[in-house]
Amino acid sequence: MSALAEILFGGLFQGSLYAMMAVGLALVWTTIGVFNFSHGVFMMLGAYIAWQLVELGLPAAVAFPIAVVVMAGVGWILQASVVRPLIGRPNIVLVVVITTLAAGSLIENGALTVWGPRSKQIPALIAGNTTIGGVGVSLHQIAIIVITPLILAALWMFLNRTRLGLALRAVAQNEDAGHLVGLNVTALYGLAFAIAASLAGLAGIFMGGYRFMSPVMGSDPLLKALIVVVFGGISSISGPIFAAYLIGFFEAACSYYFGLYWTPALLFGVLILTLMVRPEGIFASRSRGLA
């Protein structure tokens, strides 16, 4: 019983974090057709901004939303500075991998300079612990498990039930046709990045509430998010969400039965197998669309 509870809980929790990260990557890929390698840095920055605001004396309930909004601005600016000027160039995918990596590394080093290497922690969403099915869990983690699906559902509603969401899905499919119905394509690109950065920032706040933060805290989640989108198919946002939870459960089960040490190797093994059976899972299919 407790084994099942532990795997279930661990999977839901890790899956939530991966989903928050992966959905932003997928959103940017489907609308703009680029991979954002500063996505992990967005996560770190969101956490540090939240930490700074709490340090300044703001209550968490105020600091966290502000940090998320600031991250939207950061996403927008990053898009305008290192992505938008390159749109329309040949090899845009590779070029943007490099520019976003470079920007990410600059921000990472900036964070190191400003905040120093000492690890920090931000307040939990809800303090305290409880036991479920014989497993001790923190209320913070339960809050994440509950909040994440709500946010993902809200994102889905926004994309599928609002005119602005419709516009985002439309540019993803045909940019010229988007221009010809009068969409502000540049602003929609900015919006995609802003949403992605906010979600990453929120994931950072989630993570900073139960683990120590450092300027490189985003690199492992970025890697995991990449695995998730590769695994789940890159051309939609529902695929990665599904894959995020699947991988979360897989990891939880592996680390329960084989230990934490073997988990990454097993995960990559599964990933490689998946790609061998379904190679179209990655870049091969460049058809994009949000659904």
Stretch that binds other proteins, among 6-14, 72-80, 179-187, 266-274 (CB under 8 A): 179-187
Listed in sequence order, the residues at least 6 apart from 113 whose beta carbon sits closer than 8 Å to its beta carbon are: none
Say whether residue 80 binds other proteins (CB under 8 A): no
Residue from 56, 180, 276, 277 that binds other proteins (CB under 8 A)? Answer: 180
Please count the residues of the chain. 291
Q: Is 140 in the site for other proteins (CB under 8 A)?
A: no
Alpha carbons 171 and 188: distance in angstroms, whole number:
8
Which tokens is 146 given? Answer: 């509950």
- Judged by beta carbon, residue 121 or residue 173, the one nearer other proteins is 173
Q: Could you tell me where the DSSP H helices lie in the chain?
A: 2-32, 39-55, 60-78, 92-115, 139-161, 163-173, 175-180, 185-208, 219-232, 238-257, 263-277
Q: Does 90 bind other proteins (CB under 8 A)?
A: no
Q: What is the smallest separation between the CB atom of 268 and other proteins, expressed in angstroms?
A: 32
Regarding 169 and contact with other proteins (CB under 8 A), the answer is: yes
CA distance 212 to 39: 19
Residue 55 C-beta: closest distance to other proteins, Å: 43
Alpha-carbon torsion (135, 136, 138, 139), positive or negative: positive
Name which position in 23, 183, 192, 254 contacts other proteins (CB under 8 A): 183
Choose between 115 and 156: whose C-beta lies nearer to other proteins: 156
Query: Where on the chain is the footprint of other proteins (CB under 8 A)?
Result: 163, 166-167, 169-170, 173-174, 176-177, 179-185, 289, 291
